[in-house]
Amino acid sequence: MGLVIVIALAFGGIIVLQAGPLFEKKMWRELAAFIFLMVVAMVYAYDWLLEWHLPTVKTLMEIVFIPVTVFIENLLTP
């Protein structure tokens, strides 16, 4: 349980240090990208810590691109 708190504090510190200037400068796109990346990083950090066994990014990319690859191969194959 102690590592959960350490990870939460680490991510909290990173968010405070990085998101504050983006918010003050009204850099909304950069702030949105930062928030998205931090959420993904937090999910996978807790996945590792709590052993949730979420699919990896590689697996998600394969789910998306294998059907596209097969479709293109079928178009190009005589």
How many other CB atoms are there within 10 angstroms of residue 70's CB atom?
A: 10
Which residue shows structure tokens 């998306």?
64
pLDDT tens profile 55-78? 888 998 999 999 999 999 999 987
Cα 40 to Cα 5: distance, rounded to the nearest angstrom: 18
pLDDT tens profile 19-66? 999 999 999 999 999 999 999 999 999 999 999 999 888 998 999 999
Q: Strand (E) positions, 1-78?
A: none
Going from N- to C-terminal start, the domains of the chain cover 2-76
For the question of whether the overall pTM of this predicted structure is more than 0.85, the answer is: no
